[in-house]
Amino acid sequence: MNRNILTVAIIVLVVFLVIMTKNNPQVRRPSSNPLIVEFNEVHEFAKLRPGHIERATKYVLELSDQILAEIIAVPDGERTFENIMVATDDIYAVIESVWSPGYLMGSTHTNEKIRDEGLESSRQIQKYITDISLNEELYNAVIAYSRSKGAHQLTGYKKKFLDDALLNYKRSGFGLPKEKREKVKEIFNELADFGLAFRKNISDFSDTLFVTEEEIKGLPENYKKERLQENGSYAIDMSYPSYRPFMKYSESDETRKNLKFKYNNRAVETNLDVLNNIIRKRRELVEVLGYETYAEYRTEDRMAKNPQNVWDFENDLKNKLRAKGEMDVAEMLAIKSKRIGQKAITIQSWEAGFYENLVLKEKFDLDPEEVRQYFEFNNVTDGLFIVYQKLFNITFKQVENPSVWHEDVLMYEVYDNVIGELIGRFYLDMFPRANKYGHAAAFSVTMGKMTGEGYTKPTTALVCNFPKPTEYQPSLLTHDNVNTYFHEFGHLVHGVLTKSALMGYAGTSVARDFVEAPSQMLENWVWQKESLALFAKHFETGAIIPDELLDKMLAAKNVNSGTKALQQVYYGILDFTLHDGFNPDGDQTTTDIVSKLQNEITLYPYQEGTHMEAAFGHLQGYGAAYYGYKWSEVYAQDMFSIFEEIGIMNEELGMRYRKIILEKGGTEDPLSLVKEFLGREPNSDAFLRSMGLE
């Protein structure tokens, strides 16, 4: 596009008026495209066909080019926060309007062509965003504005947005010679390709272990019925609902060992090389940008600020958890010794879930299968809805006959009870199917933002893989499933309840090492009698979970809390080790690091011949940032301590949490938000108590 044509441009941009104008003479709006919707209208996902995502992507990138040209064309002396900074945010909002739903479809749609198109769209968009972040003319416009009188008078989220933009430019290589900036752009694009390949190789991988009647002994009858083959064997695939119960209940040590071996070798043929390339490119990136390591680069704009703070945090946690972890292993070893008739000295990684389950049974007389009877999916959903609606003064209304991408998907509207208006929407896609995203996550569909037409109503999709109802029984969740449900729904409401004027700060657009804290805080409701009484009902009789069973659950809460937390520390240290000096072309391989760290940290010996890093998807998305799970949990438990003091269903406190933590998103520094909510400096006391360490 010739930017001279746009010299006489609109000074104050209201981008969505431009976006949704069908007769725009410069950018032709696709007709009947489910991803291109009118302001605050819903997507017609059921009408999505191959080609739609591709055309929608082309359209929004052309619109983004137009907005970019208009920003650049603003004359000296006429630059304002609105026509430079808000307009820049508008670019990303235009892109996000297709990127988010397209990426969701790439992860969940049943049509392979549409899935591939969604991933290809994401690849194109990431490259486009890289181009935008390295656009010298846009940079010059922002720099020129930053030197203006108006910029120096900014306060609040506006000042933060400009400061963050300037830091991001530094992190993108501005201030470097042009040839180095071009190199940065090239590396970012290559990283986008490698990242998508890494994820696709994991999602496309499939493997099955066929086991005998003897090898499946210990598993529930319904589990066996669902996997029984015509020849009498049983098919155990690598999905969570298949893998996890087998590792917990199968009485065959050898078969669990074989399944663990398969599970920890997912995507090994493809992803070891891809991971090495990702690490190489990240090393190359920071060398050009002038950082010592990728870990230094990643922590600079986060709560941690620098790698040393992360190392101090992880090592301190590792040391504090060691004693509890050793106590956990000792409990399992006592049971193993009794079971095998001789003194056992080691719990192998494929034995951990099995013996943890026996500890629950023998020491606490707690049978997870009995617990599942009280967590039928629909009852849990009803109870979760009660908790979230009461705490945050909102109402969920199910949409009848929604236009969705699969028949299992449900859709809801969210109403604010104070103003009585629709403020957002969400989808629930809760059961596994072939080629669907295999874990649990909240996916943005539409992000909040103030526009000339009003506030964009945020929409989020919750994608999980809970046991699907069968002809034999309804969907019965483990307590871990319930915990996951509450956690991921916490991300969902963080996105839906946002009030940020800028999309760049909307919902979960916060520092990555804080993003888990709001949802981790909300996990605590699955451990409280008051909230459990709302939904923990026997799936056949409807009886509320008895106090005796609840007391056992609460008493057993910290069974293996040390070993589980050490596993998280191991993941965090593994991730950080690979990004804070490790050279994939040096003497050690990624598997050498895995073996060394697992043996040093987890108390479970490394299983020879396995390469778990090949399917550890967080190494791509959370590179040098996995530490954030435990980092944010410290703040999460500290915030929950206030609910413990005042009342877990206290509506006034719930609204305080909504207003301070959820609505503000990234508009303020997360540490400031936590301090405001707590009314004091944060500390780790509540976190240590939650682990059974104090």
Active site residues: 488
Q: Could you give the 3-state DSSP secondary structure of residue 423?
A: strand
The whole-angstrom separation of Cα 75 and Cα 503 is 25
DSSP-assigned letters across all residues of 615-645 = G-THHHHTTTTTTHHHHHHHHHHHHHHHHHH
- H/E element, 97: helix 87-108
How many of the other CB atoms lie within 10 Å of CB of 340? 10
For tokens 């399944």, the residue is 259
Task: Give the residue from 612, 622, 575 showing the smallest Cα distance to 266.
Answer: 612
Task: Give the residue from 640, 627, 644 showing the smallest Cα distance to 521.
Answer: 640
Task: Give the residue from 391, 401, 481, 403 showing the smallest Cα distance to 445.
Answer: 403
Contact assessment for residue 657 and residue 676, using Cβ atoms and an 8 Å cutoff: no
The whole-angstrom separation of Cα 247 and Cα 258 is 10
Positive or negative, the Cα torsion across 663, 669, 670, 675? negative
**What is the total residue count of the chain?**
694
By the 10 Å C-beta count (0-12 exposed, 13-18 middle, 19+ buried), 356 is classed as buried
Positive or negative, the Cα torsion across 298, 303, 309, 314? negative
Q: Would strands 234-237 and 441-446 be described as parallel, antiparallel, or unpaired?
A: unpaired
The whole-angstrom separation of Cα 190 and Cα 196 is 10
- H/E element, 234: strand 234-237
List the structure tokens of 497. 């309840």
